[in-house]
Structure 1
Amino acid sequence: MFSLLSQKIKTTALLSIVLKEFIQLIRDPRSIIIIIFIPLFLLIVFGYGVTMDVKNASLVVCDLDKTQFSRRFIDRFTSSGFFNLYSEVEDINEIDNFLISGKAKVGVVIPLDFSAQIGLGRPAKIQIIIDGSDANTANVVLGYVRQIIQGFSGDIVQSFIFKKTGKMMPVVDLKPRIWFNPELKSVNFFIPGLMGLIMMIMTVLMSSLSISRERELGSFEKLISTPLNPFFIITGKTIPYAILAFFDSVLILFAGIVLFNLKVKGSIALLFLVTIVFILCGLNLGLIISTVAKTQQSTMALAFISTVVPTFVLSDFVFPVRNMPFLLRLISCFIPARYYLEIIRGIILKGNGIKEHIFSTLILCFFMSLTFIASAVRLKKLMREI
């Protein structure tokens, strides 16, 4: 009897604890958000964003033949769903500018004698120029190109040649050229991306935990009692972490050069200058997070969900943003790492200068200024509350 009563008491106590925890969860909206929002957010982002397919790759065409067959050949690309015709040019050399600037991923050159060679029953040479900076995308695109050419030869041209010559033969001689990364080494694409991902993780976590840690330890009151205004406090908080993050960026680049034979084709000074701007963006974002979250655990959770996951999925680090739904592409416009990766990949792999990435550089500088002001305003508000 006594053991049964003791068991009932323990069961009642256990149920009361469970009930109490549920009540506390209901009263804490932040916990509800974490429980419901984070799984849904990760499901949507990874479900729609994590794909290695290539769709709507930008295409620039130089059609020197300008005949019915050349037009049908171009239509095969645009109607496939894999390519989006960005521009048609009259000079082959104009294709270079589109590929170097990143506006186009594929260039197609149709020679002057394209239809004439087909009419004579001879293979017509087609030159395909592919941006190989992303090895995975380049391989997939080359497979699409071969598939389209095979379909074009089989469905349209072969019937025409067979009627004239009475024999079947390959009618398109593909001459592919891979630019910027001719060996199609994935490491040349991923190392710049890793620089952006690691810099974002380190800067956001380091700076966000600095204020959260002081708030937990009770030393934040001493900090705000000093005569320094929020702008000076923000500056003082970011300088040490900026130096450490910059040192890590140099270390990552050096390791890529030594261990993986990565070659920097552009200006290293420009590369590090853009890296400093990106580092300051990350540090400012971390400070904003630290003024919102009260504990180190909540700070890390918020930093992970608001910066690390979007940087990994929505920055072109691995998964092409252009293949994602419109909503995710729109969200990616507010991810600083997207612009940073575009710039440093252009510098490292293509040897680009500032003029090829002036828009992305200005956007990155705007993010740096905006996040600095926002972090100072948030810190000032927090100082008033305490």
Structure 2
Amino acid sequence: MFSSLSQKAGTLALLNIIRKEFVQLSRDLRSVIIIIIIPLFLLIVFGYGVTTDIKNVNLVVCDLNKTQFSNEFIQKFTSSGFFKLVDEIDNLNEVDKFLISGKAKVGIILPVNFSNELGSGKSVKVQIILDGSDANTANVVLGYVYQIVQGFSRDIVSDFIFKRTGKKFTPVDLKPRIWFNQELKSVNFFIPGLMGLIMMIMTVLMTSLSISRERELGSFEKLISTPVNPFYIIAGKVIPYAVLAFIDSVLILLAGYLLFDLEVKGNLFSLLVVTLIFIFCGLNLGLIISTVAKSQQSTMAIAFIATVVPSFVLSGFVFPIRNMPLILQGISYLVPARYYLDVIRGIILKGNGIREHIESVLFLLFFMLLTFRLSSFRLKKLMREI
């Protein structure tokens, strides 16, 4: 009898606790929304964004022959689904500009004697220039190139020459050249990407958790009760963490050089200036998150969605953006890490300057100013509410 009564009491207590938790959840709809949205968000982003397929590789062609053979050779690449022809040019020097600027990842140069040499049964040299900054992609793309050239030689040229000369051979002699990362070391591609990922995560968590912690402890109310302009409050919160983050970025570059032989081929000062702009982007974003989240737990959840997932998946850190669905490609334009990685990889691996990446630098400046303005607005609103 007593055991049955205790079981009933335990059951009632359990039901009361469950009811109480649901009541508390109903009062904190933000947490409920976060709990529901995070799994769906991760599933969609990782399901569509994480892909190892290499497609639509930007291709530039310098066709100095302009014959039926050369056109069929180019068509083999464009119809394969692996390459996207961005331009056909007549000047050899322009191939360099396309690869340096990042507008093309592969350049093909067909010589003037392309069709004549093939028609006479001789082997002809075709130069392929690859952007090797992403070693994994370059290796895969090089395999595609060999596969397409072999198919061209087998299906078109060899049969044609065999009918005329009665002999079979491989007529196209590929001469591949790897730029920016001749040894195809994947670490040269990932270290700059890791730098962007680490800096974004650190800067956002630094400022967001700082204010969230003060709000939980009650010290934030004392701070905003003082007759101080919100601008100075934000500056006072941001500057110390900006100094620490900047020191971290220098240490990462130094470790990359000492441990992985990663040299900065471009201007180091330009790299540090862009890094400082990116740092302020992350710190300002952290301030905005801190004014939205009411606790450190919710701050961590929002920061995870706002930094880790976009910076890892949608920035081009590991997975090529061009292979993602159009909607994710559109969202990636709102991710500051995308532009930062474009700049630092250009400076570190290609020796570029800010001029070659002016659009990315301008976006980072715009994002920095916009987030600073939004954080000031949110902080003023929070001060009025408190």
Same fold (TM over 0.5): yes
**Which residue does 2:323 correspond to in 1?**
323
**Which residue does 1:69 correspond to in 2?**
69
**Which residue does 2:234 correspond to in 1?**
234
**Which residue does 1:370 correspond to in 2?**
370
**Which residue does 1:218 correspond to in 2?**
218
Separation in structure 2 between the aligned mates of residue 322 and residue 23 of structure 1, nearest angstrom: 46
Separation in structure 2 between the aligned mates of residue 374 and residue 31 of structure 1, nearest angstrom: 23
Contact 2:31–2:298 at 8 Å: present in 1 too? no
Output the amino acid matched with 1:294: K
- TM-score computed with the length of structure 2 as normaliser: 0.98
- How far residue 204 of structure 1 moved from its aligned partner, in angstroms, is 0.1
Separation in structure 2 between the aligned mates of residue 304 and residue 225 of structure 1, nearest angstrom: 31
Can you list the C-alpha shifts for 1:189-242, whole angstroms capped at 9, x where unaligned?
111111100000100000001111110000111111122111111111000000
- How far residue 8 of structure 1 moved from its aligned partner, in angstroms, is 2.1
- How far residue 23 of structure 1 moved from its aligned partner, in angstroms, is 4.0
- How far residue 365 of structure 1 moved from its aligned partner, in angstroms, is 0.4
**Which residue does 2:83 correspond to in 1?**
83
Can you list the C-alpha shifts for 1:91-110, whole angstroms capped at 9, x where unaligned?
11110001001111000001
**Which residue does 1:255 correspond to in 2?**
255
**2:359 is the counterpart of 1:359:** yes
**Which residue does 1:21 correspond to in 2?**
21
Output the amino acid matched with 2:355: K
Separation in structure 2 between the aligned mates of residue 281 and residue 366 of structure 1, nearest angstrom: 9
- TM-score computed with the length of structure 1 as normaliser: 0.98
- How far residue 26 of structure 1 moved from its aligned partner, in angstroms, is 4.2
Separation in structure 2 between the aligned mates of residue 24 and residue 377 of structure 1, nearest angstrom: 29
Separation in structure 2 between the aligned mates of residue 31 and residue 379 of structure 1, nearest angstrom: 21
Can you list the C-alpha shifts for 1:71-108, whole angstroms capped at 9, x where unaligned?
01101111111111111111111100010011110000
- How far residue 59 of structure 1 moved from its aligned partner, in angstroms, is 0.6
Of 100-109 and 218-227, deviating more is 218-227
- How far residue 32 of structure 1 moved from its aligned partner, in angstroms, is 2.6
SS for the counterpart of 1:93 is helix
- How far residue 122 of structure 1 moved from its aligned partner, in angstroms, is 1.8
Separation in structure 2 between the aligned mates of residue 36 and residue 213 of structure 1, nearest angstrom: 25
**Which residue does 1:57 correspond to in 2?**
57
Separation in structure 2 between the aligned mates of residue 43 and residue 272 of structure 1, nearest angstrom: 35
**2:286 is the counterpart of 1:286:** yes
**Which residue does 1:4 correspond to in 2?**
4
**Which residue does 1:102 correspond to in 2?**
102
**2:295 is the counterpart of 1:295:** yes
**Which residue does 1:118 correspond to in 2?**
118
Q: Calculate percent identity across the aligned residue pairs.
A: 74
**2:189 is the counterpart of 1:195:** no
SS for the counterpart of 2:375 is helix
SS for the counterpart of 1:311 is helix
SS for the counterpart of 2:206 is helix
Separation in structure 2 between the aligned mates of residue 22 and residue 221 of structure 1, nearest angstrom: 30
Output the amino acid matched with 1:291: T
Separation in structure 1 between the aligned mates of residue 358 and residue 372 of structure 2, nearest angstrom: 21
Can you list the C-alpha shifts for 1:13-59, whole angstroms capped at 9, x where unaligned?
21332233234334432233122211111011111111122111111
Separation in structure 2 between the aligned mates of residue 164 and residue 95 of structure 1, nearest angstrom: 35
Name the Cα RMSD after superposition: 1.1
SS for the counterpart of 1:88 is strand
Contact 2:188–2:262 at 8 Å: present in 1 too? yes
Separation in structure 2 between the aligned mates of residue 155 and residue 17 of structure 1, nearest angstrom: 74
**Which residue does 2:167 correspond to in 1?**
167
**Which residue does 1:47 correspond to in 2?**
47
Superposed counterparts of 1:307-346, under 5 Å: 307-346=307-346
**Which residue does 1:38 correspond to in 2?**
38
Output the amino acid matched with 2:207: S
Separation in structure 1 between the aligned mates of residue 247 and residue 203 of structure 2, nearest angstrom: 12
Separation in structure 1 between the aligned mates of residue 157 and residue 23 of structure 2, nearest angstrom: 72
- For structure 2, the residue ranges without an aligned partner over 5 or more in a row are none
**Which residue does 1:146 correspond to in 2?**
146
Separation in structure 1 between the aligned mates of residue 273 and residue 58 of structure 2, nearest angstrom: 29
- How far residue 119 of structure 1 moved from its aligned partner, in angstroms, is 0.8
Separation in structure 2 between the aligned mates of residue 376 and residue 118 of structure 1, nearest angstrom: 68
Separation in structure 2 between the aligned mates of residue 66 and residue 12 of structure 1, nearest angstrom: 85
SS for the counterpart of 2:92 is coil
Separation in structure 2 between the aligned mates of residue 288 and residue 156 of structure 1, nearest angstrom: 61
Contact 2:106–2:130 at 8 Å: present in 1 too? yes
Number of residue-to-residue matches in the alignment: 386
SS for the counterpart of 2:130 is strand
Separation in structure 2 between the aligned mates of residue 318 and residue 8 of structure 1, nearest angstrom: 56
Separation in structure 1 between the aligned mates of residue 164 and residue 173 of structure 2, nearest angstrom: 20
Output the amino acid matched with 1:385: E
Separation in structure 1 between the aligned mates of residue 385 and residue 27 of structure 2, nearest angstrom: 22
Output the amino acid matched with 1:145: V
